[in-house]
Amino acid sequence: MDLNRTAKSIADDCIGYRIRMLSRIFSRMYDDALRPHGVRFSQMNILTAVVLKGPIQPVEIGRLLSLEKSTLSRNVRIMEENGWLKSEPVSSGVGHRLRITKKGERLYHAAAPAWRHAQSQIEKLLGAEGARAISRVADQIQENE
């Protein structure tokens, strides 16, 4: 097989490429919707993890959201500077946990309708079956990790 045909085959058939492309497009849609609230999509996901599991150690958030340590650290620092999260020591004295602040709760409530709007737009693009398939695959992979 010649080089151009191989490249065309990879470009046309690569699932990884398509997933990354969709991830960037969908992240941009969430970011655009959340921008008026001053929060990014990645930060909204971190807030969600803290609301559901908090107080929670950053390493646990990283595992839950499959985030690299540097990405998580950068976002947490910004979120603490904005007053949305507060760090508190763990009772064992090793490490710290994050909890949402009152300011973070207000932001979360205010931004949730914008998130729902972006979610609705993405669900329309994917269709009900596509959205369910993505959720199903993500849940299966997460269960097996």
What would the pLDDT profile of 15-32 be if each residue is shown by its tens digit? 998 999 999 999 999 999
Which of 79-88, 89-98, 99-108 is predicted least confidently? 89-98
**pTM surpassing 0.85?**
yes
Mean pLDDT of the chain: 93
CA distances to 56, 61, 133 from 69, in Å: 15, 10, 28
DSSP states along 68-87: -HHHHHHHHHHHHHTTSEEE
Q: Where are the alpha helices (DSSP H) in the chain?
A: 3-13, 15-34, 41-53, 58-65, 69-81, 102-144
Bridge partners, residue 88, by sequence: 97
Examine the pLDDT at 92 and tell me if it is beyond 80: no
> Given the structure tokens 């990790």, which residue do they identify?
145
